Amino acid sequence: MPHGTEPSGNREDRGGTARSCASGGGEQSGQSSEREEGQERLRRRLAAIRHTVIVLSGKGGVGKTTVAVNLAAAATQAGLAVGLLDVDIHGPSVPTMLGIVGARVTAEEDGLAPVRLGRLKVMSIGFLLGGRNEAVIWRGPMKMKAIEQFLRDVAWGELDLLVVDAPPGTGDEPLSVCQLLGHPDGAVIVTTPQEVALAAVRRSITFCRRLELPVLGVVENMSGFVCPGCGLVTEVFGAGAGEAMAREMGVPFLGRIPMHPGISASCDAGAAISAGGDMPAVAEAFERVAAPLIALARNPATAQAQGVAMSGSHGTLLIAIPLDGSELASHFGHCASFSLVEADPGSRKIVGRHDVPAPEHQPGLLPRWLGERGVRVVIARDMGQRAKESLSELGIEVLVGAPSDAPEELARAWLAGTLTAGVNTCDH
């Protein structure tokens, strides 16, 4: 695994032209064979990893790695086989936060052995550097190569979940890991309540959409300060901005993580935050954020019912159909439940269906509730104009006046382009 400054071998070889002419055919054939073998090894590694989640942030300093480490720790404590991959090439901090600075990877017959911390397997460029002060001075292609080696040559084995801690922004490393993984389950995006962070997160959501990477949800970190003495929460940076932004962008909101002096101490000491520690409010917040992702790793169908946005996963989308019992509800705003039908627009096939109870009726709640679950289409019989406008603002397509067919039949007709809008009798 390369480290340090970019090797001089990348510089132009002025005498290489004649040599390449003499032996170019054989060299090209050998390089092609080596690339194919590498791609096959990468496919085998990824095939053993059931679910992959990438933790992103639009800017630095929002606590992204803290969230990634504690999500991985919570999943491990829940009994899952978990890997944590740190692809922050220039600022690897996962080893510090897990208390394994100075650990070294070892070579096995099947590849490089990740550093083990109980059931958790960890890989970071920090394990390959000569010292804590060593700088990695690489251009994009070198970083891409290192990330590919982390996935291809590390003996991850069978994993329920791989959590990838990406560096801030939308540059080389997040792009590389998304391309190499092919179809990650989605991204968790970390923000703080300040507008400068929220603006960057909006760009991260756009990045995900352009790559067809589902946004599993937004986490608002540093959301209020918890007094270690009395437990009182003070909204230092304001509250609710992350949730409002998620609603505005039509993505789920996973929860808020408050500030606490013990978080910094735990990170510096290399200790994950646990429910049995002295920060119960913080531990509970991490548990709430991690719960849908743990459900995803255990059972994608359960995760969808709990609100993890599977819309867009592997090119699928989520269609919501309001029901009364097993029938199409007479009015969108007063339905008893929703049938969430996952469909593949490419093949025009139904992938799955999950019925979930509707939330308690509150004016204006349903559009936001559906948006948080990743719904992209609503098929209903009657709907008020205000609800239609709210859904449209969230980027959700609406079709009203639908016939009383089964949810799967309605979804298939919409996919085939044969479902047309009928009469909407609602006048409010």
Query: pLDDT tens digit string along 133-184?
Result: 677 777 778 888 989 999 999 999 999 999 999 988 878 888 888 889 888 8
Q: Which of 163-172, 175-184, 207-216, 301-310 has the lowest average pLDDT?
A: 301-310
Strand partners for 82: 120, 161
| Domain closes at, from 259, 274, 306 | 306
| Domain closes at, from 283, 306, 329 | 306
Which SS3 state, helix, strand or coil, does residue 216 take?
A: strand
What does the pLDDT read at residue 339?
A: 92
- How far apart CA 162 and CA 158 sit, in angstroms, is 10
pLDDT tens track for 11-52: 334 344 444 444 555 666 667 778 788 889 899 999 999 999
| Domain closes at, from 285, 306, 327 | 306
pLDDT tens track for 387-405: 888 888 777 889 999 998 9
Q: DSSP characters for 213-266?
A: --EEEEEEEEEEEE-TTT--EE-SS-SSHHHHHHHHHT--EEEEEEE-HHHHHH
- pLDDT at position 373 over 80: no
Looking at the fold, whether 182 and 237 belong to one and the same domain comes out as yes
Residue 150 lies inside a defined structural domain of this protein = yes
Residue 14 lies inside a defined structural domain of this protein = no
pTM passes above 0.75: no
Share the mean pLDDT of the chain: 80
Number of domains into which the chain is organized: 2
Q: Using pLDDT thresholds of 50, 70 and 90, give the confidence band for residue 67.
A: very high
Looking at the fold, whether 293 and 340 belong to one and the same domain comes out as no
Beta strands of 132-175 (E only): which ranges? 161-165
- pLDDT at position 313 over 60: no
Looking at the fold, whether 150 and 76 belong to one and the same domain comes out as yes
Looking at the fold, whether 113 and 177 belong to one and the same domain comes out as yes
What does the pLDDT read at residue 323?
A: 93
- How far apart CA 219 and CA 237 sit, in angstroms, is 15
Count the Cβ atoms, other than its own, within 10 Å of residue 283.
Answer: 19
Smallest CA-to-CA distance from 366 within 387, 346, 336 is with 387
Looking at the fold, whether 121 and 206 belong to one and the same domain comes out as yes
Provide mean pLDDT across the span 82-110.
89
